[in-house]
């Protein structure tokens, strides 16, 4: 009797095992692109246009996961602890990778040891803006006001953010009397700059173009080696005789550190094709960012270079995280 019944018992078990295998295979067909910023911002917009094109190259579903908080630490830690199979990727700005190590003495992740760089995606120049009614009509006038006893106030999206780094560079270069006013995010800092509550803001050109085009913000200078095609009449700080104000808020893609080298190379090839697509070219043309594909080694070299650059600035200025 037991021999007759055993196949009946085993059938449901076999079906369950096959079902679990199918679920596992399905899970492997989905790639997660983890973003350290909330939905709706520039990083999220970039992630979604990249994910859409990456699906075509990987021939599998790519979902964007927003994990904001901790100045990028929550998203970074999640990816660092993920299986190194290339199915979980991290889209990060320079902040979580090259700024945080000097800003936070006890990070819960290691940007060098925990991640395998895949490719740089875009370089985002920073632009100095003032509100439409601000008395400074040029960057030179803004700097002259900064050198008065009253000085100027400048908002940022938070301590250790790229806008904060650019402000620190400007202060060092001009020896100006600049008071840094950190906000919780770029949006309120931009709003208060437009409204005149603070004198100026330096931020991603991609996040400021709508206000500039609407006449709500006046661009004064570009914190990059060359002018922006979207703002051809706005000079660089170099052109104005204000050296060493270069703030590139780049974004790139990473995998967990022990991801096989052949998988990293395959992902790099896919990302390069994504960046060569018409969709990404249109994205760059409308936002002012520069598409910047690299090899994994080239990207790793940039990360180390920026970690030293921003680390030296943070230590020189005695910048401490607001923890």
Q: Which residues, at least 6 apart from 231, have a Cβ–Cβ distance to it below 8 Å? A: 127, 205, 212, 219, 222, 288
The band of 239, judged by pLDDT with boundaries at 50, 70 and 90, is very high
Q: Which residues, at least 6 apart from 197, have a Cβ–Cβ distance to it below 8 Å? A: none
Average pLDDT value for residue range 134-161: 94
What is the torsion angle, in degrees rounded to the nearest 10, for the CA atoms of residue 304, residue 172, residue 220 and residue 47? 20
Other C-beta atoms lying within 10 Å of the C-beta of residue 123 = 18
Cα–Cα dist 243/169, whole Å: 9
Report the percent of the chain where pLDDT is more than 70.
91
pLDDT of residue 322: 67
The band of 26, judged by pLDDT with boundaries at 50, 70 and 90, is very low
40: pLDDT strictly greater than 90? no
Average pLDDT value for residue range 29-54: 91
Straight-line distance from the first to the last Cα atom of the chain, in angstroms, rounded to the nearest whole number = 70
The band of 25, judged by pLDDT with boundaries at 50, 70 and 90, is very low
Following DSSP, what letter does each residue of 228-263 receive, concatenated? BTTBTTSPBTGGGT--S---B--EEEEEETTS-HHH
Cα–Cα dist 304/87, whole Å: 25
For all residues of the chain together, what is the average pLDDT?
90
pLDDT of residue 28: 55
Phi, psi of 246 (to 5 degrees): -125, 110
């Amino acid at each position: 009797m037991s021999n007759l019944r055993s196949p009946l018992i085993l059938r449901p078990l076999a079906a369950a095992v096959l079902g679990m295998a199918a679920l596992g295979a399905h899970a492997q067909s989905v790639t997660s692109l983890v973003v350290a910023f909330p939905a709706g911002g520039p990083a999220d917009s970039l992630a979604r246009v990249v994910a859409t094109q990456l699906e075509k190259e990987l021939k599998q579903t790519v979902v964007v996961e927003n994990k904001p908080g901790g100045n990028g630490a929550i998203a970074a830690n999640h990816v660092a602890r993920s299986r190194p199979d290339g199915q979980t990727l991290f889209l990060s700005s320079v902040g979580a990778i090259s700024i945080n190590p000097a800003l936070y003495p006890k990070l819960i992740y290691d940007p060098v040891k925990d991640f395998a760089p895949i490719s740089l995606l875009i370089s985002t120049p920073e632009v100095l803006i003032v509100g439409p009614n601000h008395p400074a009509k040029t960057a030179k006038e803004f700097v002259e006001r900064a050198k008065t006893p009253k000085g100027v106030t400048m908002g940022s999206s938070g301590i250790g953010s790229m806008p904060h780094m650019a402000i620190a560079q400007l202060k060092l270069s001009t020896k100006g009397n600049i008071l840094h006013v950190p906000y919780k995010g770029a949006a309120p800092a931009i709003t208060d700059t437009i409204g005149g509550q603070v004198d100026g803001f330096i931020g991603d050109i991609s996040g400021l173009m709508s206000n500039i085009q609407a006449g709500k913000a006046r661009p004064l200078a570009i914190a990059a080696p060359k002018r922006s095609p979207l703002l051809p009449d706005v000079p660089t700080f170099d052109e104005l005789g204000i050296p060493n104000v270069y703030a590139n808020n780049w974004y790139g893609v990473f995998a967990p550190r022990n991801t096989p080298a052949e998988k990293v190379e395959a992902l790099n090839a896919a990302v390069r094709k994504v960046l060569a697509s018409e969709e990404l070219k249109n994205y760059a043309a409308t936002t002012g960012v520069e598409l910047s594909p690299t090899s994994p080694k080239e990207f790793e070299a940039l990360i180390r270079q920026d970690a030293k650059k921003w680390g030296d600035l943070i230590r020189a200025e005695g910048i401490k995280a607001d923890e």
